[in-house]
Amino acid sequence: MHRSDSALVATTAQLHAHGYRLTGPGRTIIAALHGAGRYTTARQLYEGLRGRSVGLASVYRTLELLADLGLVRRRAEGGGETSYLPYGAGSQVQLTCTRCGQVRAINASICPTADLIAAAEAASGFAIERLVLDCSGLCAACAAGEA
Partner DNA sequence: CTGGTTGCAAAATTTTTGCACACTC
Partner DNA sequence: GAGTGTGCAAAAATTTTGCAACCAG
**Please, which residue, 4 or 41, has the CB nearer to DNA?**
41
**Please, which residue, 69 or 111, has the CB nearer to DNA?**
69
Tell me whether strands 82-86 and 103-106 are parallel, antiparallel or unpaired. unpaired
Of residues 74-133, those binding DNA (CB under 7 A): 78-82
**Please, which residue, 7 or 59, has the CB nearer to DNA?**
59
Q: State yes or no: residue 58 binds DNA (CB under 7 A).
A: yes
Count of beta carbons in the 10 Å neighbourhood of residue 83: 21
Q: State yes or no: residue 111 binds a second copy (CB under 8 A).
A: yes
Q: What's the Cα-to-Cα distance from 109 to each of 8, 91, 106, 114, 142, rounded to whole Å? A: 21, 8, 9, 10, 26
Q: State yes or no: residue 64 binds a second copy (CB under 8 A).
A: yes
DSSP one-letter code for 87: P
Q: State yes or no: residue 145 binds a second copy (CB under 8 A).
A: no
Q: State yes or no: residue 68 binds DNA (CB under 7 A).
A: no
In this structure, is the dihedral angle defined by the CA atoms of residues 106, 45, 70 and 120, taken in order, positive or negative? positive
Q: What is the Cα–Cα distance from 139 to 48, expressed in whole angstroms?
A: 25
In this structure, is the dihedral angle defined by the CA atoms of residues 115, 90, 136 and 84, taken in order, positive or negative? negative
Q: State yes or no: residue 55 binds a second copy (CB under 8 A).
A: no
Summarize as ranges the residues that interact with DNA (CB under 7 A). 16, 20-26, 29, 41-43, 53-58, 60-62, 64, 78-82
Summarize as ranges the residues that interact with a second copy (CB under 8 A). 64, 67-68, 74-78, 80, 82-83, 93, 95, 97-98, 104, 106-107, 110-112, 115-117, 119-120, 123-140, 143
